[in-house]
Structure 1
Amino acid sequence: MFGSLDVFLARRWEDLVMLTLQHLAVVALSLAIATVLGVLIGLLVWDRNVPRTAALTAAGIAITIPSLALLALLSPVLGLGWAPTVVSLVFYSLLPIVRNTVVGLREVPAHLIESARGMGMTPAKTLLSIQLPLAWPVIVTGIRVAAQLTVGIAAIAAYVAGPGLGLYIFKGLSSLGSVNALNFTLTGTICVVLLALLLDGAFVLIARYSTSRGLRV
């Protein structure tokens, strides 16, 4: 038993727009923090064997923790709402960003680095002028993967009163058998999928127009 989806959307479109914007905002904030932290960690460990292995192993183990379990652990400390949501999204975003930063920097040909230093460039200038631009397409791919992860996990954050479209999904699941249970769940799920696709397309464009023309394939 379910109500008309057209009527459901007509009555709740303003609420749906607000939840979509909240979902996008929490994903964007978390992704920005994770990008800064992930790239910084990658820069610190990419050429050091033990720290690199430790960082990638730790991030890999961390991402195996079930999101509901992590949110349940964070909520007594951080409360409900935005704080545990942002922390958990940053937590899960770090692996692809750190990994791709390390991979991108390690793929820069050694002879280019040696040539830059032979021309008198400092390590910092070599990093900014040579290594990061060459590694950038790989780094953006890691951020793109992290974006897809955060969009999905942000929906689960409704478990701790997090912002976004998860509210509709959980509301539908908690009211199974009611007239609009399916409409709530279906609407929330479809909007999450559409948002993920839009973000993915945005990162395709970002990668294309922020990458040097000579590196585009």
Structure 2
Amino acid sequence: MQLLTYVQGHAGNLTFLTYQHASLAFQTVLVGTVVAVIIAVAVYRLPLFSALTLTTSRVALTIPSLALLALLIVPFGLGVVPSFLMLAFFAAMPVIGNAIVGLRSVPASTIEAAQGIGLPRWRILLSVELPIAWPVILTGIRVSTQMIVGVAAIVAYVLGPGLGSLIFNGLSRLGGANALEMALTGTILIVIIALVFDGLLVLLGRFTISKGLS
């Protein structure tokens, strides 16, 4: 089979590109998640600002990723920086919405009980509200991860790292030697990365979500 022969003959390069792709997706989702949770914590108790933030995060997902990449090329040039910023931006959007919804859904009676035993505001946030909101936040992270693993392929247009270069090089050479195998291999590896990440996030949920919330 030609596909298997191609994979065996280019195992080293495929391993490197897969690592690049997975690393880029992991880092951008991590940064996007941290930023998203910080924003959610800042606005979730303010009805007007939380509503505006929710709407903005949903509208932002309609921005064409290639258009945002093109805008980022102007100040940052080609390569990793515009790729990272674009992916981190899109990674944050689903998490912001879920984090706000999760934090706002914490029962008022639970917060009052925590206040009643003398917990300060920051302790209530860290030990009560965020743990209760965590299942909803994690769902947003899973959605974000699946999206980013796929979108990360397009950073090849700005010489970004990952499997996108393999796919687009193959598509640009269709009809040539190994062109179809290149595109198929890149696509299959991206799907595998997405499945592995989702499985790891499911395991994370099992270890971090309280039994009373699952």
- TM-score normalised according to structure 1 size: 0.95
Report the counterpart of residue 30 of structure 2 in structure 1. 32
Look up the equivalent residue of 1:90 and give its one-letter code. Answer: A
Aligned runs of 1:1-217 on 2, under 5 Å? 4-216=2-214
CA distance in 2, matches of 1:7, 1:116: 62
Look up the equivalent residue of 2:159 and give its one-letter code. Answer: A
Q: Deviations over 1:161-209 (max 9, x none)?
A: 1111111101011112112111111000010011101101110000111
Q: 1:26, 1:82 within 8 Å by CA — same for their partners in 2?
A: no
Deviation at 1:213, TM superposition (A): 2.2
Deviation at 1:120, TM superposition (A): 1.3
Look up the equivalent residue of 2:14 and give its one-letter code. Answer: L
CA distance in 2, matches of 1:78, 1:193: 29
Look up the equivalent residue of 1:49 and give its one-letter code. Answer: P
Deviation at 1:128, TM superposition (A): 1.1
Deviation at 1:27, TM superposition (A): 0.8
CA distance in 2, matches of 1:77, 1:11: 39
CA distance in 2, matches of 1:170, 1:74: 21
CA distance in 2, matches of 1:112, 1:5: 57
Two-structure CA RMSD over aligned residues (Å): 1.2
Aligned length: 214
Deviation at 1:57, TM superposition (A): 1.8
Structure 1 runs (4+) greater than 4 angstroms displaced: none
Q: 2:29, 2:92 within 8 Å by CA — same for their partners in 1?
A: no
User: Does the residue aligned with 1:213 lie in a helix, a strand or coil?
Assistant: coil
Look up the equivalent residue of 1:55 and give its one-letter code. Answer: T
Deviation at 1:71, TM superposition (A): 1.1
State the identity %: 47
- TM-score normalised according to structure 2 size: 0.96
CA distance in 1, matches of 2:143, 2:77: 28
Deviation at 1:134, TM superposition (A): 0.7
